């Protein structure tokens, strides 16, 4: 993590020292939360809609923070604290992260996209760790606060950093890219998340392509070749000189694509002719995860990782939770937990995965509302209901007001009683437990706001 003197930090954020603090005071690490303050930290008083971090600055100092940023419009400036006075505390945090990044020789890979960016980040980091000292975004700290904190958490001898970049609107990824200055960037796909705010998939694509804004000259953009919007909009977007481009995807029109995919009980095997016919294995299920792995392979080869280490890194990847976690109940029932987030694109991928699985007595899917889809939210849910195939899935459960449309569409094709909508999660748990057998598999998928991990917990706890 960042280790600098008070004076060095002050200069990095273009702040002032109104209280005459010792310039040689040592600062180690940064925190915006008094609950996680460590000795020697710099405290950053973030201002939110319903809180103001300045109110907790004294508590941060009392808990061991060496100094605090202080925003100029908060007067009077406390005379009894080691303060670095700045025009804007959040902007100073971002400026500090950018300055620290520029002082390090680290090579940075940015990962963005509507779906799959966290899984892809985890795979890239796992491969790179076979060869380099790697730092990656923890959890989903991928926004205008989380990304600067992630950079400032890096040790100075970090060789590679894999930074996830998320957004809710235009120019957010541009900001993150300018802070991080990545050498390479991955765009996993363009989905429907954030349609409510951005209005169209074209605008979502433009927002994701902002990742090029801060890229190094001659950097590498790796993007999904199955998405025509990226190719169509690339010419109009600001990009670095000498940009290199590389496409991954499910079809041979991309630079890298799988020639064979085979699922087993715990993961997926796939072959790449572009890598001499090598076979790879990922400890996760589904073709969509194979496609994400292609992006990870491409950037790792660019960074100089050997084929043997790429294979080893993918085989041993550890994923962030609730992304197609395969779990076993005491009874033997298999539960696939994909309750972290949902969109039409990722839901279709989850359905495809469930359809491909073999060796189970019956397949049951539990779907909750997909959120932030804008004016077409009901139509998207109906389309998912139309997509469900009674020849490949045995029971459909739906939860949430929007998913009622999904259930109504699916019920037109399924046997009576095989599509069920419930208002409460507890009702779904009880009904599934009534019909489920140990040889069955249940997939749970919904947007984070639905909290369907409660259904997963209920099935695992009560299925015996």
pLDDT at 120: 96
Domain membership flag for residue 320: no
99 located within any domain: no
- Whether 129 is covered by a domain: the verdict is yes
Q: How do beta strands 184-187 and 107-112 pair?
A: parallel
Residue with tokens 């094709």: 413
Q: Where are the alpha helices (DSSP H) in 226-286?
A: 228-233
Task: Please report whether residue 424 resides in a domain.
Answer: yes
Band of residue 142 on the pLDDT scale cut at 50, 70, 90: very high
Specify whether 192 is located in the same domain as 291.
yes
139 has pLDDT over 90: no
The mean per-residue pLDDT over the stretch 156-175 comes to: 94
123 shares its domain with 250: yes
Pairwise pLDDT comparison (21 vs 259), residue with the higher score: 21
Higher pLDDT: 88 or 285? It is 88
> Does some domain include residue 92?
no
DSSP for 116-132, please give it.
SHHHHHHHHHHHHTTTS
The angle formed by the CA atoms of residues 314, 327 and 265, to the nearest 5 degrees, is 55
Say whether 335 sits in a helix, a strand or coil. Answer: strand
**299 or 284, higher pLDDT:** 299
How much is the average pLDDT of 3-22? 98
Is 78 contained in some domain?
yes
Domain closes at, from 315, 348, 377: 315
Regarding whether 108 and 79 lie in a shared domain, the answer is no
Instruction: For residues 158 and 306, state if they share a domain.
Output: yes
Residue 188 has pLDDT above 80, yes or no: yes
Q: pLDDT higher for 372 or 312?
A: 312
Please indicate, yes or no, whether residues 127 and 231 belong to a single structural domain of this protein.
yes
Q: What average pLDDT does the segment 298-320 reach?
A: 95
CA distances from residue 241 to 212, 219, 223, 235 in whole angstroms, order as listed: 10, 8, 18, 13
Mean pLDDT in residue range 146-175: 95
- Predicted local confidence at residue 31, as pLDDT: 97
Looking at the domain assignment, is residue 94 inside a domain? no
Per the structure, the count of domains in the chain is: 3
Which pair of tokens denotes residue 71?
Answer: 């925003």
Same domain membership, residue 119 and residue 19: no
Name the 3-class secondary structure at 340. coil
Residues 72 and 205 in one domain: no
Predicted confidence at residue 322, as pLDDT, reads 52
Same domain, 80 and 127: no
Nearest alpha carbon to residue 141 among 123, 161, 170: 161
All residues at 6 or more sequence positions from 104 whose CB lies less than 8 Å from its CB, including other chains: 154, 156, 158
Share of the chain above pLDDT 70, in %: 98
Residues 58 and 122 in one domain: no
pLDDT tens track for 339-360 = 888 889 889 989 999 998 888 9
Does residue 341 share a domain with residue 297? Answer: no
Indicate if 248 and 125 belong to the same structural domain.
Answer: yes
End of a domain among 268, 287, 315? 315
Which residues constitute the domain of residue 413? 325-462
More confident residue, 34 or 197: 34
Of 53, 87, 121, the one marking the end of a domain is 87
pLDDT value of residue 321: 62
How large is the average pLDDT for residues 33-48?
95
Looking at the fold, whether 163 and 208 belong to one and the same domain comes out as yes
Token digits of residue 296: 């990870």
| Residue 273: predicted pLDDT | 80
With a cut of 90, say whether residue 191 has pLDDT above it.
no
Distances (CA, A) of 346 to 96, 98, 384: 36, 33, 11
Most confident residue range from 93-102, 264-273, 345-354, 355-364: 93-102
pLDDT band at 195 (very low <50, low <70, confident <90, very high): confident
pLDDT reported for residue 382: 96
**What CATH number corresponds to the domain at position 13?**
3.40.1390.10
| C-alpha pair distances (Å), 94 with each of 21, 54, 119, 241, 340 | 23, 18, 25, 25, 27
Q: Which domain CATH number covers 220?
A: 3.40.1190.10
- The band of 63, judged by pLDDT with boundaries at 50, 70 and 90, is very high
Residue 178 lies in a domain: yes
């Amino acid at each position: 993590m960042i280790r600098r003197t008070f004076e060095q930090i002050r200069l990095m954020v273009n702040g002032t020292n109104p209280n005459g603090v010792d310039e040689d005071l040592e600062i180690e690490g940064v925190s915006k939360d008094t609950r996680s303050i460590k000795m020697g930290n710099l405290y950053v008083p973030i201002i939110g809609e319903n809180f103001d971090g300045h109110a907790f600055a004294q508590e941060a100092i009392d808990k061991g923070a060496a100094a605090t940023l202080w925003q100029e419009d908060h007067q009077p400036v406390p005379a009894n604290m080691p303060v670095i006075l700045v025009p804007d505390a959040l902007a100073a945090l971002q400026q500090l992260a950018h300055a620290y990044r520029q002082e390090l020789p680290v090579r940075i890979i940015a990962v963005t996209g509507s779906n799959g960016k966290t899984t892809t980040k985890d795979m890239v980091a796992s491969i790179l760790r076979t060869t380099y000292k790697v730092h990656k975004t923890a959890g989903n700290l991928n926004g205008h606060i989380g990304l600067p904190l992630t950079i400032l958490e890096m040790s100075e001898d970090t060789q590679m950093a894999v930074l996830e970049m998320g957004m809710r609107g235009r120019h957010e990824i541009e900001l993150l890219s300018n802070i991080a200055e990545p050498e390479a960037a991955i765009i996993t796909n363009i989905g429907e998340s954030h349609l409510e705010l951005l209005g169209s998939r074209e605008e979502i694509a433009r927002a994701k392509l902002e990742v090029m804004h801060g890229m190094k000259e001659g950097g590498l953009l790796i993007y999904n070749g199955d998405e025509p919007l990226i190719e169509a909009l690339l010419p109009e977007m600001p990009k670095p000189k000498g940009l290199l481009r590389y496409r991954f995807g499910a079809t041979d029109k991309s630079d890298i694509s799988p020639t064979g995919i085979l699922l087993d009980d715990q993961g997926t095997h796939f072959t790449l002719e572009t890598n001499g016919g090598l076979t790879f294995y990922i400890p996760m299920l589904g073709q969509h995860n194979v496609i994400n792995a292609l992006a990870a392979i491409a950037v790792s080869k660019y960074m100089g990782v050997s084929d043997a280490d790429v294979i080893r890194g993918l085989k041993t990847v550890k994923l962030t939770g609730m992304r197609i976690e395969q779990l076993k109940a005491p009874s033997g029932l298999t539960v696939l937990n994909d309750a972290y987030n949902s969109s039409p694109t990722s839901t279709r991928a989850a359905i495809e995965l469930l359809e491909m699985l073999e060796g189970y007595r019956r397949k049951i899917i539990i779907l909750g509302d997909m959120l932030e889809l804008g004016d077409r939210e009901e139509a998207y849910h109906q389309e998912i209901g139309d997509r469900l195939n009674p020849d490949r899935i045995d029971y459909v459960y739906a939860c949430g007001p929007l998913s009622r449309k999904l259930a109504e569409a699916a019920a037109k094709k399924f046997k009576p009683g095989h599509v069920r909508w419930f208002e409460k999660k507890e009702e779904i748990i009880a009904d599934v437990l009534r019909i489920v057998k140990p040889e069955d598999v249940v997939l749970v998928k919904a947007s984070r706001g639905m909290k369907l991990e409660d259904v997963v917990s209920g099935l695992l706890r009560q299925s015996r």
